[in-house]
Chain A
Amino acid sequence: MNVLTEVLSPSFLLRDALYTSLVIGLACPVVGVFLVLRRMVFMGVALPQISSTGVALALSLHSLGHIHLEHGSFDTHALAFVGSLTFSILAVTALAFLERHRVAWNEARIGALYVLSAATSLLLLAKCPTAERGWLNLFKGEIIAISNSDLKLTLGAFAGVLFLLWLFRKEIILISYDRELAMTLRKVVFGWDLLLYLLIGLAISVAVIAVGPLVTFGFLLLPPLAVRPFAGTMRQFVVASSVLGGVASVVGFVLAYHWDLPVGPTDVALLGVVCGLGNGGQWLRSRALSSP
């Protein structure tokens, strides 16, 4: 109880980290709902990895002296963000292009990109010990080092992404559920796909910079997967996923703070347990209902 009071106190030293965690916990599941809807669960796994390759590239180039930064105007964090965003957008554009031209099936495309990006990250970092340290922190999902500027960036980016998702929700849901009907209604399916992918890419690159790839794909996927068996409508699906993500981010933070564990993996493990229990409960319910 003391820990909870301490964490929720306005003077809490790590409040920026807590707020960022909360923002990501509330917003990432909303983006993840669309990945689950379109049966692109693995994109939620691969994109954060690809995004972190962008970070690795930026940090390596800086570390090897290919990029010079003037102190105070553009720090390494911003450089990492540029790398992350560039790779995310390139990856989603490439995936949209490959999907449009039906090159391989979805899982194969994403799997290949995933393993390539993971290998490239390690190759890039093989000769840059300083860059490797920064990347290792990302890999660990150590949220506590988040600064106020990170919080603002995360808040601003997610506000924009969520606003656009809300504004174009009808079109995006239509192309997700029934592409043929969308084409019949003369919707530009490729354009809406691209917009959705770009929003997903932006959300992921911002989240990766703040909390690392593991926590990002945890918050993207696990709340929607936990909620899906119980949600009756799209609205319930989105709201319940977001609420679960928000609650898990705070509870995970408190537990990690109390037991001195890394926050990100604690959040993901907590969500994993909730997801497992939810689906297990649904399985038991379906068995009970199917009894004569």
Chain B
Amino acid sequence: MPNEMSTRLDHLVAPDLVASGSLTLVAAPPSAAEKPILCAEQVTLAYGRRVVLSDVNLAIRRGEFWALLGPNGEGKSTLIKALLGAVRPTRGKIFLRADFQRRTRLALVPQECEVNPSVPTTIREFVLGGLVGITLERVQRDARLKAVLELMGIAHLPERSLWTLSGGQRQRTLVARALIRDPLLLIVDEPTAGLDLAAASSLLDAITSLSRDKGITIVFVTHDLSIAAKQATHAALFRGGKLTAGPLKEVFTPANLSRTFGVPVGVHHDDHGCVHVAVEQAHDANISSSPRP
């Protein structure tokens, strides 16, 4: 079975590893009948007696790119934590598909590097830390490390201290640590917050190419409507403790977006099927948030 498919990382690592079946399977094209990778049913999340989200229903299938959108404090990060198992729902259930139960094919890119600064660490050690729970031989491990560092453009820095890196390099290291798990589901929590335009754009390109070229399922938390409009296949909007979720074209309606963000938002679909959104301001001053498909 493993030999029938090739891995997403296989073109980056030694071919004999792939041939031996020590690396991963390739994704077959997703089908509607396929069971969701991650499924939330009637989930309610609360801190103490304060309910953050209620009646959340969500089904994430292989190959989808989900954008989680909403103002601050609406429960986006709480939902992410619940999906990761760090917060337990007070009601309802969150299911991981059987092949994801051990979480070896699941990875997280946090909003910022929340690593305890009193821990001395190099990029090499930090990225290898992502392999916790996965047993690999040394040669496989080194090959994966080399591959992800090259993919993220930091292959020349393996022995550098994490604390001497720039913000952009550090975020790339976080992505590399997630990718070394060779994930099928990648959860990304606003990775561009605090980065300058060039670093943010470069990081976004790297992440979106993972979905486009390698078929990784991505759950992407963001405030940025343009990223969602441009990249996502599905969206979830957070407002008032409720979630509106589904395919992008169904969820991205002027009414839904205006209710979520509290400002009038215009939406139109072009001939190529791309979604465009624009925040409509008073006195006909339109500021486009997504000028290109």
Contact = CB atoms under 8 A, between A and B. Distances in A.
Interface string A271-292: 0000000000000000100111
State the majority secondary structure of interface residues on B. loop
A292 to B, nearest CB: 6
B50 A291 contact: yes
A126 interface: no
B142 to A, nearest CB: 33
A105 interface: yes
B51 A292 contact: yes
A291 B117 CA distance: 35
A231 B51 CA distance: 28
A108 B118 contact: yes
A291 B48 contact: yes
A290 B118 CA distance: 33
A292 B51 CA distance: 7
A287 B118 contact: no
A6 B50 CA distance: 52
Contacts of A290: 47-50
Contacts of B48: 287, 290-291
Interface in B25-60: 47-51
Nearest to B118: A105
Interface string B96-122: 000000000000000000000110000
Contacts of B118: 105, 108
Contact of B50 (A105, A108, A292): A292
Nearest to B46: A292
B169 to A, nearest CB: 21
A111 to B, nearest CB: 12
A33 B117 CA distance: 26
A112 to B, nearest CB: 13
Nearest to A288: B49
A292 B117 CA distance: 37
A124 B118 CA distance: 33
Nearest to A107: B118
Contacts of A108: 118
Nearest to B51: A292
Contacts of A105: 117-118
B192 to A, nearest CB: 24
Nearest to A289: B50
A291 B50 CA distance: 5
A287 B49 CA distance: 8
Contacts of A291: 48-50
Interface in B43-97: 47-51
Interface in A79-125: 105, 108
B4 to A, nearest CB: 52
A291 B51 CA distance: 8
A84 B118 CA distance: 32
A287 B47 CA distance: 9
Contacts of A292: 49-51
B8 to A, nearest CB: 40
Interface in A49-87: none
A52 B48 CA distance: 45
Contacts of B47: 290
A105 B47 CA distance: 32
Contacts of B50: 290-292
A103 to B, nearest CB: 13
A108 B119 CA distance: 12
A25 to B, nearest CB: 35
A239 B50 CA distance: 34
A290 B48 CA distance: 7
Contacts of B51: 292
Interface in B111-137: 117-118
A208 B230 CA distance: 66
Interface of B: 47-51, 117-118
The 9 closest A-B pairs by CB, nearest first: A291-B49, A290-B50, A290-B48, A287-B48, A105-B118, A292-B51, A292-B49, A290-B49, A292-B50
15 contacts: A105-B117, A105-B118, A108-B118, A287-B48, A287-B49, A290-B47, A290-B48, A290-B49, A290-B50, A291-B48, A291-B49, A291-B50, A292-B49, A292-B50, A292-B51
Given A290-B48, A290-B50, A291-B50, 7 more contacts: A105-B117, A105-B118, A108-B118, A287-B48, A290-B49, A291-B48, A292-B49
